[in-house]
Structure 1
Amino acid sequence: MGTYNVFFAFVLMAAGVREIEPSKDAMKYITSGFVKVLEECKQELNMNDRIIADLFHYWKLDYTLLNRDTGCAIICMSKKLDLLDDTGRMHHGNAQEFALKHGAGEEVASKIVTIIHDCEKKFERDDDECLRVLEVAKCFRTGIHDLDWQPKVEVIVSEVFTDM
């Protein structure tokens, strides 16, 4: 099972777009790719509006993300983007490549992978894969906020609605 596509897509918007290339086109490209994967998982998992809200409000630190199904959605999206290895953990090479492909420089891509890897280590003992991924997602969000790389939710939402 899996992890972190949601944060990858959003982080790449934050890190890749804000830090490396402040390009509206880059953000639109990342968001469009993410939305396509989200739509597939939404249908496969019969996601309700609460999960969609969790994903769109992901970058707000005060948004608690308590829904276990949100973790399952993250797993689904991570699988679709080939960001997981055979054990269900982040595939470092694929994650690095994904970040680079979406506008992040080498240093930013490496930092993203490191943050996720460190978060995975903190929660590796949780037996419920969906809850574990949800905790990793929250940890990752905090790490990105600590770097001040988080994207603005309003920009993400407007780009998503433009592409729908």
Structure 2
Amino acid sequence: MGRNNVFFALVLIAVGVREIAPSKDAMKYITSGFVKVLEECKHDLNMNDQILADLYHYWKLDYALLSRDTGCAIICMSKKLDLLDTNGRMHHGNAQEFAMKHGAGDDVASKIVSIIHECEKKFERDDDECLRVLDVAKCFRSGIHELDWQPNVEVIVSEVLTEI
């Protein structure tokens, strides 16, 4: 698996969070697409529903994200969403475009990409890619919380269930 893949999947969840009405629409579309890709990855990687629980609790700062499989799933989703470059790193252009396509303004999309890039720099280890991605994901989550851009999980779940 490529490096820094986890960040991109998380970007998808966070896009457009700043503006209230646009972020609700963006989160709805992003999460719907995200869940569809997650199901493919769960099947591809033969993973259980613990991944769903980890992703549901992801935005809670005190949630440790201990499941290595969740890191692997984020990598898989990032690949399926074409958010990685040939080296397995976040493709800045694709990530920016994806965020904007799902309702984020240029400034919000740029900030999201910037946070992910900074988190990638902090976690350069080469041992277990899935665990490394979890570290980056937690760093990204903290960055989004610092901006107070974290989405309301209950709203996301409600809107996703409406779509299904």
Q: Normalization by structure 1: what TM-score?
A: 0.91
Check conservation: 1:41, 1:76, Cα contact below 8 A.
yes
Cα distance in 2 between the residues matched to 1:61 and 1:40: 27
Structure 1 match to 2:13: 10
Q: Does 1:109 align with 2:112?
A: no
Larger mean CA deviation between 26-35 and 107-116 belongs to 26-35
Equivalent residue of 1:22, what SS? helix
Structure 1 segment 39-78 matched on structure 2, within 5 A: 39-78=39-78
Percent sequence identity over aligned pairs: 79
Q: 1:5 to 1:160 in 2, by over 3 A?
A: farther
- Is the Cα–Cα contact under 8 Å of residues 31 and 156 in structure 1 kept in the other structure? yes
* Cα separation, 1, equivalents of 2:62 and 2:19: 23
Match of 1:148 in 2: 148
For 1:20 and 1:91, the matched residues in 2 are separated by: 27
Deviation at 1:66, TM superposition (A): 0.9
Shift of 1:20: 6.7
Cα distance in 1 for residues equivalent to 2:45 and 2:119: 25
Q: Deviations over 1:8-46 (max 9, x none)?
A: 22101xxx1442743644332222111111111111111
Matched-pair contact (CA < 8 Å) for 2:14–2:27: no
TM-score, normalised to structure 2, is: 0.91
Distance 1:48 1:73 in 2: 11
In 2, are the aligned partners of 1:3 and 1:84 still within 8 Å (CA)?
no
CA pair 129-23 structure 1, distance change in 2 beyond 3 A: closer
Amino acid aligned to 2:14: V
2:29 corresponds to 1:29: yes
Q: Which residue does 1:87 correspond to in 2?
A: 87
Q: Could you report, residue by residue, the CA deviation over 1:136-155 in whole angstroms, capped at 9, with x for unpaired residues?
A: 00000000000000001101
Mapped partners of 1:99, 1:24: distance in 2: 13
Deviation at 1:160, TM superposition (A): 2.0
User: How many equivalent residue pairs?
Assistant: 161
| Alpha-carbon spacing, 1:24–1:138, altered in 2? closer, same or farther (3 Å) | closer
Unpaired runs of 5+ residues, structure 1, are: none
CA distance in 2, matches of 1:56, 1:40: 17
Gaps of 5+ in 2: none
Aligned CA RMSD, in angstroms, stands at 1.5
What amino acid does structure 2 have at the position aligned with 1:111? K
Please give the per-residue CA displacement for 1:41-88, whole angstroms capped at 9, x wherever unaligned.
111111212111001111111111011111100000000000001111
